[in-house]
Copies of this chain bind each other. A is one copy, B any other.
Amino acid sequence: MPARTHGRPRDSRTHAAILSATVALIVDAGYGALTIVGVAARAGVGKDAIYRRWSGKPELVYEAVFTSADADPIPDTGTLIGDVTILVERLVDEFAAPAAAVALPGLLADFADQPALRMRIREDLLAGVKARLVEVFDRAAARGELVADVPVELILDSLAGTVLFHVGLVGAPVTPELPRHLAAMVVTGIKTR
């Protein structure tokens, strides 16, 4: 028991050291050049310490670059458009963060052949955003803002896809208005009669 109790903090420091070495190497040299051996050297651990925790480079990088979303509180501005704007701002922050922006295209390419990994993009990267969207729509329904069922999966793919495409793939600049404009489009559509 004492050994196990002592072991945990060291284990968690090792874990954190590996993740931060991974982020630093991605920012320095890009996703393509990153190797498990290189991460081990930078983190000051053996490569076995990495392989015990992650089955390969894509899994390691995935965890290193996408970390924050689940800790954020659910927005509650009083309007659907206000809440969705905040959720989009967080997606922009997540995808536009230096390590994520550098890693994403290569990471997605490595994920492409592996259906189980691709599923994780939706099921765990976006699960936090989805839970927040559902809550935000439930509140809007309770306020009487919504008149129909909301296609949550489609909205999630649209918000994530637009941000990913705009920021991560085309590399278009992120303007401060982007989250609000995107939220407005999804919530109210193009203004039609």
| Chain A contacts to B: CB under 8 angstroms | 30-32, 80, 102, 104-106, 108-109, 111-113, 115, 118-119, 121-122, 137, 140, 144-148, 150-151, 154-155, 157-158, 160-166, 169-172, 178, 181-182, 185-193
Contact = CB atoms under 8 A, between A and B. Distances in A.
A67 to B, nearest CB: 20
Number of copies: 2
Given A122-B172, A161-B164, A188-B189, 7 more contacts: A32-B109, A105-B111, A122-B170, A140-B192, A147-B191, A158-B185, A187-B192
A161 to B, nearest CB: 3
B185 A146 contact: no
Contacts of A178: 154
Nearest to A189: B189
A154 B181 contact: yes
B154 A192 contact: no
5 contacts: A30-B113, A154-B162, A161-B165, A185-B189, A189-B190
A166 B112 CA distance: 13
A81 B14 CA distance: 54
B109 A185 contact: no
A133 to B, nearest CB: 11
B169 A108 contact: yes
Contact of A147 (B140, B171, B193): B193
Contacts of A121: 169-170
A158 B182 contact: yes
Contacts of A145: 192-193
